[in-house]
Amino acid sequence: MYESFYQLKAKPFALLPDSSFLYQGTEHQAAYSLLEYGILSEAPFMVLTGDPGVGKTSLLQKLIAEHGARHNIGLVTNARYDIEQLLPWILLSLGLSTKRLDPIEAYHLFSEFLSQESRRSRRVILVIDEAQSLGAELLEELRLLSNMNDGRALKLQIILSGQPDLYTLLQRIDMTQFAQRIVVDYHLKPLSETDTANCIRHRLRVAGGRPTLFTDQACALVHRLSQGNPRLINQVADITLTYGYAEQARTITAKLVAQAAIDRIKGRILPLAATDELVALASAPDEPVEHQGSNRTLSLELVVDEPSEAALSQSSEETYQRAMVLKEQGQFKEAVELFHAAARDKSLWFKANAQVGFCYVKMREPQAAIQAFCTALDDPMAPPNEIADVLYCLGRSLESVGKVDQAREVYDRINQSTPSYRDVPSRLRQLGTSSKRSEKVDGQAPARHSWFSGMIDNVQRFLIGSHK
């Protein structure tokens, strides 16, 4: 309905979980990092809890999407069954069997599958959503299934996701044996006011729209109404866009949010907070429209028919974030253009040019990647903790075009400050020991090599300082 009016490629606030729209704020980043740590550290059990609508399912979908190629992951979403139905549901989630099997046959099939995947150096990861519905008996059955891990190699990992009732269940005395096997657990909290605003802008950006469509006041009101619950944020924002379209409003204000929320809560079903201020806001004069990312205030007269150039202009940070979205979507050429635009801001020089290099690596253009990485490393204000990553990618790119001596020099400098960084020691062994030869590289005079060495020397000073 409103997509074309606001120049959106998709509905930004759809209720169906979609990992491509997932905003990883402080809470979600922490939760995701812990779950990844659990997978990498071979934790037998992991637990993720949170209120309904807080984003658990979207987070799990992202985890499955990014780790599904390396491991065999089964998602079990129907947790309302008895003990005889548990294993058949697990088999179905892994695509093993749709037939009705007796418990012994099902157990044997699952055991053979775990062994088969283990021989292929793959683990089986079961993700149980809405796990608070399992109850103590079924959780104990899952614990017994985890005994299939023979101690030599972990075959099975289990992630339990559910509402706070799951946490309460796991704290019971009779669940002590189960709780002792939980290595990672995290309770996902609602978004802060800042993260709510960033979430709204992120979803608009991913949908191809203008991130500044909602004013700061509008975002703040959405937060108060939703209490930072992502599902409620989506509901309030979506209905507000419908109201905005009906009024042909180019910018979504707090007044529009209030008007939409008043009608939405008439049925007394949607659990919104701060409803006492809505009537006053809905009847108040139109607010000045704040330009996001600045202290300037724009008159509403500037955005009556078409958005002004000032209203549509994006800050360098917004340009950078837009480029990151394009990069994640695989639109590398478009991303490169935006990264170059963002790099005009001196504070973004390093990370924007580094991202240009990463894009060229994905596009299999190593020469362009080398140039971009060197440009990034030329920034005297580059964050020391990020330099090693760029240096490593520079070294790999140099290797790919046959510049072995320069690659070895890069790895040497990384190894001096950060021993055991990634596979640098093994790469040095493959390339041979460092040499002090003053050879020509690709027909270039030694002066060219000296320039490169000088650049690496400058970077080295940052690395040593960071290491100390």
Which tens digit of pLDDT belongs to each residue from 412-430? 888 887 777 778 888 888 8
Co-location of 308 and 324 in the same domain: no
Would you say residue 8 lies in a domain? no
**What does the pLDDT average to over 19-36?**
85
Round to whole Å and give the CA distance between 150 and 111.
Answer: 11
Q: Which of 266-275, 290-299, 391-400 has the lowest mean pLDDT?
A: 290-299
367 pLDDT tier (thresholds 50, 70, 90): confident
Mean pLDDT across the chain: 80
User: Quick check: 301 pLDDT over 50?
Assistant: no
User: Quick check: 46 pLDDT over 90?
Assistant: yes
User: Quick check: 277 pLDDT over 50?
Assistant: yes
Co-location of 296 and 325 in the same domain: no
Residue reference for tokens 């606030």? 13
What is the pLDDT, as a whole number, of residue 25?
Answer: 80
Cα-based distances in Å from 398 to 263, 342, 391, 443: 61, 26, 10, 15
Co-location of 286 and 234 in the same domain: yes
Round to whole Å and give the CA distance between 188 and 25.
Answer: 11
Residues 360, 369: contact at Cβ < 8 Å?
Answer: yes
- Domain containing 47 equals 19-188
- What is the domain count for the chain? 3
Query: The CATH number of the domain where 171 resides is what?
Result: 3.40.50.300
Would you say residue 63 lies in a domain? yes
What is the pLDDT, as a whole number, of residue 290?
Answer: 46
Mapped onto helix, strand or coil, the DSSP state of residue 56 is: helix
Would you say residue 101 lies in a domain? yes
Query: The CATH number of the domain where 461 resides is what?
Result: 1.25.40.10
User: Quick check: 450 pLDDT over 70?
Assistant: no
**What does the pLDDT average to over 176-189?**
91
Tens of pLDDT, residues 110-138? 999 999 998 888 899 999 998 888 888 88
Cα-based distances in Å from 439 to 404, 416, 443, 444, 448: 12, 23, 9, 9, 10
Percent of the chain with pLDDT over 90: 23
Co-location of 179 and 232 in the same domain: no
User: Quick check: 400 pLDDT over 70?
Assistant: yes
Would you say residue 13 lies in a domain? no
98 pLDDT tier (thresholds 50, 70, 90): low
Q: Which of 54-63, 93-102, 156-165 has the lowest mean pLDDT?
A: 93-102
pTM above 0.85, yes or no: no
